[in-house]
């Protein structure tokens, strides 16, 4: 059995996938599109703002 070392990003995606899998398909697609927008936004070296957006998204997704 192989042992895989997960990077921090891999762990984040697994965590997000578990969250998304608990929603229905419409909510999941909205969350995924928001995540894609946040990833594109954070690629402009504005990681602090993207982290704040991620927290807002996580809060809005849970309600």
Residues 6-60 have pLDDT tens digits of 566 677 777 777 776 777 777 777 877 887 877 777 666 555 666 677 777 776 6
User: Which pLDDT belongs to residue 44?
Assistant: 64
Residue 2 lies in a domain: no
Q: Output the CA angle 8-10-42, nearest 5 degrees.
A: 70
Residue 57 lies in a domain: yes
Q: How far apart are CA 48 and CA 5, in angstroms?
A: 26
Q: How far apart are CA 3 and CA 5, in angstroms?
A: 7
User: Which pLDDT belongs to residue 48?
Assistant: 61
Q: Domain containing 48: what range?
A: 8-62
User: Is the predicted pLDDT of residue 63 greater than 60, yes or no?
Assistant: no
Residue 37 lies in a domain: yes
Residue 26 lies in a domain: yes
The residues, ordered by sequence, that sit 6+ positions from 49 with a Cβ below 8 Å of its Cβ are: 41, 42
User: Which pLDDT belongs to residue 42?
Assistant: 66
Total domain count, the chain: 1
User: Is the predicted pLDDT of residue 1 greater than 60, yes or no?
Assistant: no
Residue 3 lies in a domain: no
């Amino acid at each position: 059995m192989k042992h895989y070392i997960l990077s921090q990003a891999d762990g984040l995606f697994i965590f997000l996938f578990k969250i998304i899998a608990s929603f229905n398909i419409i909510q999941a697609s909205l969350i995924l599109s928001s995540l894609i927008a946040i990833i594109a936004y954070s690629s402009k070296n504005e990681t602090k703002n993207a982290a704040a957006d991620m927290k807002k998204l996580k809060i809005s997704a849970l309600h």
